[in-house]
Chain A
């Protein structure tokens, strides 16, 4: 293993560095902030929330002291309302839609108010009493937000639901992939108690592979695929195998599973990528004590897919942005010693609608680094998905009927990152809800057809 090069910090420094970036509101702050809400009718914040949380209603409930009622309003619409309150890009969702923006006023801090409401009840709330079993069973592959949401909704109709998850804890990227200063793993896990109390069975450390599919198909009335995406894409340059070269998901996961002083981090770190994950990595590296951090992206700042507020966060952390540059090779004897890059120029828009980068010959430059972390897109789990008969994929994403999330194989439904190629937690929750009502519709229709024929 690479010797940790970043200076070690005291436990207090680590805690301070990874302290909640959005500290919770006090009661008095929540009341004051909530009192600014206009209680719009047919409110745009509701329409901008993929899960349709009735935001004005829950803010009003906070205002009347009915905090449990507020939490129920939120969680009935979005069972992961607890983590969404912390990780949603609210500035492009509910808060971006707040009418106060149009009057050049600060929008309501909906995320923080949501957190205030759900924090209060997280560990005790029984969201609803599931009805008696309807005799139908649904298997859900993957324990991330999509499956948790789908299983919860199915419980409302009395389905027996079993989630099969490969990880020790459920939650998927919600548990393992979100920057620690936004959501600690132990907080993410609290959320699953809420789901378990509704009678959702979660089987952890169970990897579902092609060989298990026939059994699932036999035993269950429907199967939901919520497997997310695979590992990080490769850089496809020489030196990737060197010690000190790793991928973003592993790096972030380490900060969630290990104590901060045990996480391997270089002192001079190069992070490749322009998305929100790259930001999570550079900010985590800074908080772990790395002294020199580069974020290298082949296009310019305007084209980077990271949200503006995320880039601002990295700027506050004094990250060195290396725009319009592509790594060409990682140099080192056994371990990473430097990264060689080449400058790019931007051509006409490519398939993604963004300007395509082209390397500029002779513009090579070298960054002396002892760690290289790739934060590119994620691979598709094509191999597993292709093992399901009849499933249709497009660029590795599962094709579904959007109204029901049913796949081309009628037994299978799908949602979350494996369908949209990588979205927000709240998008996955929305998929899960739609899929649950789709499963219910389809199975009800089938049962009714059987009754008619009988």
Chain B
């Protein structure tokens, strides 16, 4: 049996699955239910001076009959007294010593205030601290949350204050609402952060009610921008996790967050550099029981890959993310349609015809119904010489494994953009540093 436990900044967690800081991690009651269900850790809903929430608070995106593929909220941090939260953390830790409890914190940007909350967190027995520098709504307007996370100097400064007092490792939670999240991760590192977690929610306005013309969620005829999360944000989060994992100026553990719903999502985050993963929306949607399959799925995956420990996954794919300029321009794949599997929907044809490179042909379908015999099979045809290997047809094809992208020998050796530019006697695309230097010179 592979070992699915992880080591996060020296803290052992029975598995990488932590309940993310949010509504599912608001109380001891929930934390204990989550641990009973099998969760490895709980990141408490952010503790700070209790706030007052509005009603309603959430809005979502559905896709066809799939509910809540994206969720938006305008809820703030905990509305419960600081004292209650820390007492409950202590109670949970006592009952569940082997599970991880992370105290998520957010107070006004004053050294004394941070020192005070960290002192109380120390006393609660929490295993780790997570500094919420990410909340994009409500708190940021009060100079907290994303307002801190968007200014690297603030992030460094507050992290430094926390580290002055903290007795356990400190995670800085990052906002995605910045131009380069890895820069912010480096700033946290500079302040002494032991780890970073990302991403927090993305600034969003989830939609407008077409009957009332009031954006959602509706609070007495008005709405406000909120934070977006759920399955729809996963690719954004993955990219950000990879970019932080890639940045040599960071080099500290990552707790991955953003649209993780199952073990496969979790493994992807781990492969791109996350040690633990945090799940919130999926638990809000389906409850804590989803962790059961996460555990067995991860276990099965590790076994299938011959791995002994979940830790072996961490960062394994980071090196596979390259700058575009280093990709081999002479690598070539073309689409192959399996005529046996093809059901003749023509989606590959029209996607290529209207949306891509006009490399698939399809004969007009004859008129007729089953009363006049079974119609001949209708299979589009790929013009291989024209196919650019973009994947679009394979992506739109509704039949598994019907369209595959097969590698063909381009007859040319490996050559990337940088090498090509050098061969052409031009300088390769200049780096950001070079560009900044040029701007400074001018």
Q: Which of A31, A38, A47, A96 contacts B345 (CB 8 A)?
A: A38
Chain B residues contacting A92 (CB-CB under 8 Å) are 369-371
B371 partner residues in chain A, CB cutoff 8 A:
92-93
B365 interface residue (CB < 8 Å to A): yes
Task: Say yes or no: A97 contacts B369, CB within 8 Å.
Answer: yes
List the A side residues contacting B343 at CB < 8 Å. Answer: 99-100, 102-103
A142 at the interface (CB under 8 A from B): no
Q: How far is the CB of A59 from chain B (nearest CB, A)?
A: 11
Count A-B pairs with CB separation below 8 Å. Answer: 64
Would you call B390 an interface residue if the criterion is a C-beta within 8 Å of the partner chain's C-beta atoms? no
Give Cα distance in the complex from A94 to B369, angstroms: 7
Q: Is B200 interfacial (CB 8 A cutoff)? A: no
Partner of A93, one of B370, B378, B398: B370
Q: Which of A35, A38, A43, A48 contacts B368 (CB 8 A)?
A: A48
Q: Are A42 and B369 in contact (CB under 8 A)?
A: no
Task: Name B398's closest neighbour in chain A (CB-CB).
Answer: A38
Q: Which residues of B contact A50 (CB under 8 A)?
A: 369
- Chain B, residues 385-420, CB within 8 Å of chain A (1/0): the string is 000000000000011000000000000000000000
Q: Nearest chain A CB to B213's CB is how many angstroms away? A: 15
B375 at interface, CB cutoff 8 A? yes
**With the chains together, A94 CA to B364 CA distance in Å?**
17
Q: Nearest-CB distance from A316 to chain B (Å)?
A: 23
Within residues 109 to 142 of chain B, which ones have a CB less than 8 A from any CB in chain A?
A: none
Question: In chain B, what residue has the closest Cβ to A33?
Answer: B65
Query: B367–A99 contact, CB under 8 A?
Result: no
B344 close to A (CB within 8 Å): yes
Given the known inter-chain contacts A48-B369, A93-B370, please indicate yes or no for A41 contacting B349, CB distance below 8 A.
yes
A97-138 CB contacts (< 8 Å) to partner B: 97, 99-100, 102-103
Q: Given contacts A99-B345, A102-B343, are A42 and B399 in contact (CB under 8 A)? A: no
Q: Closest CB-CB distance, B13 to chain A, in whole Å?
A: 39
A199 at the B interface (CB under 8 A): no
Q: Which of A244-283 contact B (CB under 8 A)?
A: none
Q: A41-B347, A63-B64, A99-B345 are in contact. Are A48 and B399 (CB under 8 A)?
A: no
Does A309 have its Cβ within 8 Å of any Cβ on chain B? no
Kindly list chain A residues whose C-beta atoms are within 8 Å of the C-beta of B362. Answer: 41-42
Cβ contacts under 8 Å, B367 to chain A: 47, 52
Which residues of the partner chain A approach B398 to less than 8 Å between Cβ atoms?
A: 38, 103
A44 within 8 A of partner (CB):
yes
With contacts A31-B65, A41-B349, A41-B350 taken as known, whether A47 is within 8 angstroms of B344 at the C-beta atoms is no
Q: How far is the CA of A403 from the CA of B412 in the complex (A)?
A: 57
Q: How far is B365's CA from A395's CA once the two chains are assembled, in angstroms? A: 33
Q: Are A41 and B369 in contact (CB under 8 A)?
A: no
Contact B344 A96 (CB under 8 A): no
Q: Is the contact region of chain B dominated by helix, strand, or loop, or is it mixed? A: loop
- Residue from A40, A50, A63, A96 having most chain B Cβ neighbours under 10 A: A40
- The verdict on A365 contacting chain B, using a C-beta distance below 8 Å, is no
Q: Are B64 and A47 in contact (CB under 8 A)?
A: no
| Residue B366 CB within 8 A of the other chain | yes
Q: Enumerate chain B residues within 8 angstroms of A39, measured Cβ to Cβ.
A: 347
Which of chain B's residues has its CB closest to A427's CB?
A: B371
Question: Is the pair B369, A40 in contact by a Cβ cutoff of 8 Å?
Answer: no
- Tell me which residues from 13 to 56 in chain A have a Cβ below 8 Å from any Cβ of chain B: 31-32, 35, 38-44, 47-50, 52
Q: Give Cα A40 to B399, complex, Å.
A: 13
* B346 & A42 in contact (Cβ 8 Å cutoff): yes
Closest to A45 in B: B369
Q: A44 is contacted by which of B65, B350, B375 (Cβ under 8 Å)?
A: B375
Q: Is A35 in contact with B375, judged by CB distance below 8 angstroms? A: no
For chain A, the bracket of interface size reads 20 to 34
Whole-angstrom distance from the CB of A62 to the nearest CB of chain B? 11
Q: How many angstroms from the CA of A32 to the CA of B66 in the assembled complex?
A: 9
Query: Can you list, as one digit per residue, whether each of B328-351 has a CB less than 8 Å from chain A (1) or not (0)?
Result: 000000000000000111110110
Pick from B64, B365, B369: contact of A96, CB below 8 A.
B369
Contact B64 A41 (CB under 8 A): no
Whether A32 and B368, one on each chain, are in contact in the complex, defined by CB atoms closer than 8 angstroms, is no
Quote the shortest CB–CB distance from B323 to chain A (angstroms): 37
**B369: which A residues are within 8 A, CB to CB?**
47-50, 92-94, 96-97
Complex CA–CA separation, A96 to B370 (angstroms): 7
CB of B378 within 8 A of CB of A48, answer no
Complex Cα gap A43–B367 (Å): 10
Closest to A426 in B: B369
Distance of A352 from chain B, by nearest CB (Å): 15
Distance A100 CA – B369 CA, assembled complex (angstroms): 15
Choose one: A41, A49, A63, A96; the contact of B346 (CB below 8 Å).
A41
Q: With contacts A32-B65, A63-B64, A96-B369 known, is A40 near B364, CB below 8 A?
A: no
How many Å from the CB of A102 to the closest CB on chain B?
Answer: 4
Rounded to whole Å, the gap between the CB of B56 and the closest CB of chain A is 22
Selected from A38, A100, A103, the residue in CB contact (under 8 A) with B347 is: A38
How many Å lie between the Cα of A44 and that of B369 in the bound state? 9
A278 to chain B, nearest CB (A): 19
A216 and B278 CA atoms in complex are apart in Å by 81
Cα A318 to Cα B349 with chains together (Å): 48
Tell me if A47 and B368 are in contact (CB < 8 A). yes
For A94, what are the chain B residues with a Cβ–Cβ distance below 8 Å? Answer: 369
* Residue in contact with A35 in the complex, picked from B64, B345, B365, B366, CB distance below 8 Å: B64
What distance in Å separates the Cβ of A114 from its nearest Cβ neighbour in chain B? 16
Instruction: From the candidates B65, B347, B370, name the one contacting A40 in the complex (CB within 8 A).
Output: B347
In the complex where A47-B365, A48-B369 touch, is A40 in contact with B346 (Cβ < 8 A)?
yes
Q: Which residue of A lies closest to B354 (CB)?
A: A41
Question: 1/0 per position for B56-84, CB-CB distance to A under 8 A?
Answer: 00000000110000000000000000000
With both beta carbons as reference points, the residue of chain B lying nearest to A49 in the complex is identified as B369
Once the chains are docked, how many angstroms separate the CA of A32 from the CA of B345? 20
Contacts of A40 in B (CB 8 A): 344-347
Q: Give a binary string over B352-376; 1 marks a CB under 8 Å from any A CB, 0 the rest.
A: 0000000000101111111100010
Residues of chain A within 8 A of B344, CB atoms compared: 40, 44, 99, 102
Which residues of chain B are within 8 angstroms of A102 by Cβ–Cβ distance? 343-344
Residue numbers in A under 8 Å from B368 (CB-CB): 47-48
B375 close to A97 (CB less than 8 A): yes
Most chain A C-beta atoms within 10 Å of own C-beta, residue among B65, B350, B364, B375: B65
Q: How far is the CA of A63 from the CA of B350 in the complex (A)?
A: 21
Cα-based distance from A31 to B66 in the complex (angstroms): 11
Q: Which chain A positions have C-beta within 8 A of B64?
A: 31, 35, 63
Report A74-108 CB contacts with B as 1/0, cut-off 8 Å: 00000000000000000111101101101100000
Binding site for B on A (CB under 8 A): 31-32, 35, 38-44, 47-50, 52, 63, 91-94, 96-97, 99-100, 102-103
- Between A and B, 27 residue pairs with Cβ closer than 8 Å are A31-B64, A31-B65, A32-B65, A35-B65, A38-B345, A40-B344, A41-B347, A41-B349, A43-B346, A44-B344, A44-B375, A44-B378, A47-B366, A47-B367, A50-B369, A52-B367, A92-B371, A94-B369, A96-B369, A96-B370, A97-B369, A97-B370, A97-B375, A99-B343, A99-B344, A99-B345, A102-B344
Known: A31-B64, A41-B349; 15 extra A-B contacts, CB below 8 A, are A31-B65, A38-B347, A39-B347, A42-B346, A47-B369, A48-B368, A48-B369, A92-B371, A93-B369, A93-B370, A94-B369, A99-B343, A102-B343, A103-B343, A103-B399
In order of increasing CB-CB distance, the 6 nearest A-B pairs are A35-B64, A41-B350, A41-B346, A48-B369, A102-B343, A99-B343
